Amino acid sequence: MPSVAPSTFAGTANVIAVIVLLTEFAMLRAPLLRSQVRLYAFQSLVVTALAVFVAATRHIDSLYVLAALSFTLKVIIVPRVVTRLLSRANVSLAGNSSLGVATMTLIAIAISVFGFFSVGALNLRSPVLPEAALAVSVGVILVAFVLIILRSDVVSQAVGFFSLENGVSMASLVVASGLPLIIDVAFLFDLMVAVVVFGVLMRIHHARNRTLSTEPLDQLRG
Amino acid sequence: MTEVELAPAVIQALQDVTIALGAPLVSGAVATIEARLQGRRGPRVLQPYYDLIKLFQKETVVPEGSSWVFLGAPIVAFASYLIVPLLIPVLTTYGLPLGYMGDILGGGFVLALAGFVVALAATESGAPYAQLGASRAMTFGALIEPTILFVVFAVGIITSTDLPYALAASLRTGSSEIVRPAHVLAAVAFFLVVLADTGRVPVETHSGTLEFGMIDEGRVLEHSGAPFALLKWGSAMKQLILYTILIDVFLAPWGLAASQALGPVLFAIPALLVKAIAVGTIFAFIDNSFSKLRLFKITEFLAAAFALAAMAVLIFYLGGG
């Protein structure tokens, strides 16, 4: 018996969620720091699109505000700030990561499978978005961890952290899109703090070591 | 007035004829469009036909010490490319009598047989570049295989069959089938597979003359005359076959004939060729906008395709269909 397709709404929402996850995979391989930041901007744009899509089809007006906020902050301001920091550091290529890209991709697939099935075991139901989108956003969070752990340059780690927030905000869209706006804004505020902290870290690291790679840190001895 | 109905066998033969005679046209049209994108005038659209005619009239030179395998391979490969169009929806939405003799995997095996005999002939020739091309083609073929398998799994899950006709039929039932993630992901993964299998950037530059960068092209360097014409023709047919699967199974199974009437069947032929040229234009555009990957970076590209295909199957088990 052929399987029944989900509704057009659920299908579209799932596809958008999966695009966010695939952008996370693309970040694993991006060799240029600049393209890493661009990927983050693109991913944020897709999350914003998901918010607009949910707002439009489910008539939740507060989501429009959230979408506008996250667009200005995550698609325009944060990438701009990071790009400016990068242009001062004058480094364009990320250093070698500890593993090859194909290996990283396979690890990330395995880990997101783990995430998928653990969320599946929870048996959550959402009135707004299909639950598959929740599993995918957990996948985004886990792959962001993989990115932070396996890439050995400060920018990838910072971008990994920012995209973690994208995963979280996608999850909050799924489970609780009726969430009071103030909580979503608090998430965004957290992101602002993270950007400032990572900006300072990046600059100090670059000033001390003349590189954005974290390899010099491995040689520290107590 | 009653419409003229065609016998299934005639339609089946028409599928083969369309692929065989249309393939050089599609190659020529895509080459012209590609040249225009690069600001060149490019060859005539019909150039591949003239090339084939010229090659068929030339003498055949065989490397010293090679056996019948070298001469037999182009014929077997060409025959394989004639068999595959019987299995896939080229002109009709319904399965033709011989359409059920193999499923997607069956078609894949026949295509693999063609690749295998060509590689065998390349090894037989003893020429270093041909062998280099053959060994590379086999290596990357093996790496593409998992992606194809997962695409087939995705198709199998969606339709509960492994017939290409069934997926095309379920696609036409409505928009919810088109946007379902399993289908979108499998389609994109297959798109990347076609990109790799037709020897396009980022895997291979198809117009290059440098042997070190060659994969598929390198294998046929030692052939000449009529066998070479068959190989060239075959690779154009392989390209059109892959385009046809991409179009009629995954992307746009519209314009196919739903009945055996003469009109719709005849309409399906130009419809397919136009759609194939449109897809070829997309490929030409990709060709112009990206650079070729280093040989050892091709695994990254294939890993990306595999990630997409694996995700297509996974998302289904998540309940996201």
Cα distance between residue B33 and residue B18, in whole Å:
21
CA–CA separation, B313 and A106 (whole Å): 15
Quick one: which of B238, B259, B243, B279 has its CA closest to B91? B259
- Give the C-alpha distances (Å, rounded to integers) separating B141 from A75, B137, B315: 39, 6, 26
Looking from the CA of B115 toward its CB, the CA atoms found within 13 Å total: 24
Confidence at residue B8, expressed as pLDDT on a 0 to 100 scale: 84
For A135-188, write each residue's pLDDT tens digit. 888 899 999 999 998 888 888 888 999 999 889 888 888 777 667 778 878 888
Rounded CA separation A151/A116 (Å)? 23
Long-range contacts of A103-106 (CB under 8 A, 24+ apart): A104/A28, A104/A29, A104/A146, A104/A150, A105/A25, A105/A28, A105/A29, A105/B300, A105/B303, A105/B304, A105/B306, A105/B307, A106/B303
Q: Exposure string (b/e) for A26-46, b if CB count within 10 Å is 16 or more?
A: bbbbbeebbbbbebbbbbbbb
**pLDDT average, residue stretch B243-253:** 87
Tokens 């695009």 locate to: A19
- Nearest CA-CA partner of A159 in A19, A46, A7, A40: A40
**Does A8 lie at the interface with B, CB-CB under 8 angstroms?**
yes
CB contact under 8 A, B320 and A136: yes
Is residue A6 less than 8 Å (CB to CB) from chain B? Answer: yes
Comparing CA positions, the residue from B184, B204, B154, B188 lying closest to residue B305 is: B188
| Inter-chain touch A2–B160, beta carbons under 8 Å | yes
A118 has a chain B CB within 8 A of its CB: no
**Residues in chain B whose Cβ is within 8 Å of chain A:** 157-161, 166, 170, 174-177, 179-181, 184-185, 299-300, 302-304, 306-308, 310-311, 314-321
Q: Mean pLDDT across the stretch B166-171?
A: 78
**Whole-number pLDDT of residue A48:** 92
CA distance A75 to chain B (A): 24
B18-56 pLDDT, tens per residue? 999 999 999 999 999 999 998 988 889 999 999 999 999
Q: What is the pLDDT of residue B81?
A: 93
Q: Does position B85 have pLDDT exceeding 80, yes or no? A: yes
Range with lowest mean pLDDT among A135-144, A192-201, A206-215:
A206-215
Confidence of residue A31 (pLDDT cuts 50, 70, 90): confident
Contact with chain B for residue A131, Cβ under 8 A: yes
**Predicted confidence (pLDDT) at residue A3 exceeds the cutoff of 70:** no
pLDDT digits (tens, 9 = 90+) for A60-76: 888 888 889 889 988 99
Pick the more confident residue, B118 or B103.
B118
Residue B147, pLDDT > 70, answer yes
In chain B, what percentage of residues exceed pLDDT 70?
98
Q: Which residues of A touch B300 (CB under 8 A)?
A: 29, 101-102, 105
* Whole-number pLDDT of residue B17: 92
pLDDT at B307: 86
Mean per-residue pLDDT, B250-277: 86
Percent of chain A with pLDDT over 90: 13
Average pLDDT, chain B: 86
Q: B183 to chain A nearest CA, in Å? A: 10
First to last CA, chain B: 46
**Does the distance separating the beta carbons of A25 and B304 come in below 8 Å?**
yes
Residue of A nearest to B302 (CA): A102
Given a cut of 70, whether residue A9 has pLDDT beyond it is: yes
- pLDDT: which is higher, B148 or A60: B148
Does residue B284 contact residue B129 with C-beta atoms inside 8 Å? Answer: no
Domain extents in chain A:
9-89+122-210
Spatial distance between the Cα atoms of A62 and A177, rounded to a whole number of angstroms: 9
ipTM summary value: 0.75
Band of the pLDDT at A95, cuts 50, 70, 90? Answer: low
Share of chain B above pLDDT 90, in %: 31
Residue with tokens 């150039």: B47
- B216's CB contacts (< 8 A; 6+ apart) are B133, B137, B199, B204, B235
- What is the model's pLDDT at position A46? 93
What is the reported pLDDT for A178? 66
Most confident of the following: B68-82, B132-146, B191-205 = B68-82
The mean predicted confidence, pLDDT, of chain A is 83
Reported residue count of chain A is 222
Is a pLDDT exceeding 90 seen at residue B113? yes
- Residue B273 CB partners (closer than 8 Å, separation 6+): B18, B22, B25, B26
Q: How confident is the model at residue A126 (pLDDT cuts 50, 70, 90)?
A: low
Q: Residues B207-232: what's their mean pLDDT?
A: 83
For the segment B146-173, the average pLDDT, to the nearest whole number, is 82
More confident residue, A176 or A49: A49
pLDDT of residue A204: 86
Query: How much is the pLDDT for B48?
Result: 93
Contact between residue A132 and residue A192 where contact means Cβ atoms under 8 Å apart: no
pLDDT at A57 over 70: yes
- Asked whether residue B3 carries a pLDDT value surpassing 80, the answer given is no
B202 prior amide bond cis, ω within 30: yes
